[in-house]
Amino acid sequence: MGTLASSRRVLVIMGVVLVCGGWILFWQGAVPQPDGELPPSSPKADEPEPPPRYCGWIPDPQAVRECLKDLDIREFRAAPAEGEEPCAEADEPVYLWETVRQVTGEILPGRDQGAVGSCVAVATASALEHLQCVQIAAGEKARYRDVASEVIYGGSRVQIGGGRIRGDGSIGAWAAKWVKDYGVVPRGVYQRYDLRQYDEKLCREFGRRGVPPELAALARRHPVLEVMRVQSWDEARAALRRGYPVLVCSDQGFRMERDRDGFCAPRGIWYHAMALIGYRGHPRPGGFLLNSWGDQAHSGPRVPPHAPPAGFWVDAPVLDRMLRQGDSWAFARFIGFTDPDHPAASVAYDFRHSAFSLLRFRHRVLGSHPSAAPAKLRDPPQWHEGTRSIVTHPTR
C-alpha cells in the first residue's frame, strides 16, 4: 500500500509540474496561441526594445514657438502661389535624389551619425545637400559640396539653444534657426579642424562648446534664406514639388525591413530626425525618408531600384502624423558654394517655377536660368532666353 501511495503522489506531482510548465511555455510563445488571442496591434505600438541605432531629437514645443516668434520663419502653405501651376499632377512621383544624380553623377552615400545623437544635424545637412543640387540643376552657377553636420549640431545646441541640453540631441527648430541665422560649412580642412569626413569626436566637442568663431564666420557666407514649418502631408508634398527638401522630426519608429513596395511599417518609438526627399502618389501615397544610420541599416526591396539604400518609404497617413508634431521644416534659397569655373557665382534665387517642371518623373523638360534674384520668395524670377536640359529620372 505504501508503495502504491508513493507512486500516486509522484504521478500527481509530475502532472502538476507538466501543467505548470505547459502554461509557462504557452505564455512565453513557445506554444502557438489560438487565433484571436493576440491583442490587436496599433499603427504605432510602443515596444520595450530601444531603437536599433542612435537617435537624438528632443521634443520641445516651447523652443519651436520661440523660434517662430523670434526668427523670420513662417508656416508653409500648400496652396499654389500666384502664377504657379496647379497640382493636377500631384500623383506624379518626385525623386530629389535623381536631381542629385544629374548634378553629381550618382546619388549621395548614406550618412551615418555613429554613436552621437546628432540625427537632427545630419538630416538637416542631407536636406541641404539635396537642395544644392535642385538649385544647380535649375541653373544656379555654383558647385556641389557636402555639408559638415558637426557645425549644425554644435551651432544648434549652443549658439541657438544656449547649451541647455545635457547629453546628446538637439531640436529641429534650433537647427532651422542656425542654418538661417548663420548658415553651413562645406566639408574641408579649416586650420586645426579637419571636417573632410564626419567626426564623432568633433561633433561632441562642438555640441559641448559651440561652433568656433572662425567656422561660424565661414558659415555666415552660406545661409538658407527661407525656412518654413511644414505640418501636414499636403504641405510636405507641395514643398517637394517646388524642390524644397524637408527636415522631419518626430517620435515615430519603424520596422527596419522594407516591404515589397519599399515601405517600412510604423513600429515603436524613435525620437529621431530624417530628411524627406521624395514622394509618390496613387496607388500607395507616401514620402521617402532618408535615414542617418548608413546604407546597411535597412533591408528589403528598394522601390524604385535606384532609390537611396539608406532610406525607405512611409505611408502618407503615418507621415502626416509625424509632421503634425510641429517640428519639421522645409528649406529654400540656399546661398551655395562658388563654382571655380564661374567666379562671379550668382546668389540663391527662387527656382520654384523651373523646379516645379523639372521634378516631373516621366519625361524630359527644360529649366531656365534666372537673370536676377527676387526680393521675396514668392516674387517671380526673371528669365533668360536660353535654356538647358534637365532630367530627374534615370536616362532610358
3-state helix, strand, coil split of the chain in percent (to 5) is 30, 20, 45
Tell which residue, 171, 180, 114, 183, has the closest CA to residue 145.
183
Cα(295)–Cα(255) distance, integer angstroms = 16
What stretches in the chain show pLDDT beneath 50? Answer: 23-48, 79, 82-83, 85, 88, 341-396
Name the one residue in this structure whose C-alpha cell is 502538476: 16
> DSSP letter at 159?
I
Closest to 318 measured CA to CA, from 244, 273, 265, 256: 265
Please name each of the domains of the chain with its CATH number: 61-76+87-390 (3.90.70.10)
Q: The cell 562658388 sits on which residue?
A: 338
Distance in angstroms (rounded) separating the CA atoms of residues 60 and 170: 10
Cell of 152: 549644425
Cell of 287: 514620402
pTM for the whole structure: 0.76
Could you check whether the bond before residue 212 is cis, i.e. omega within 30 degrees of 0?
no
CB-CB contact of 375 with 362 (8 Å) = no
Looking at residue 112, its amino acid is D
Instruction: Give me the residues paired with residue 368 across strands.
Output: 387
Instruction: Decide: helix, strand or coil at residue 76.
Output: coil
List beta partners, residue 390. 365
Q: Give pLDDT, residue 188.
A: 96
CA–CA gap between residue 179 and residue 265 (Å, rounded): 32
Helix (H) or strand (E) holding 217: helix 213-219
pLDDT tens for residues 331-387? 999 999 986 544 444 344 344 444 443 443 332 222 222 222 322 322 222 323 333
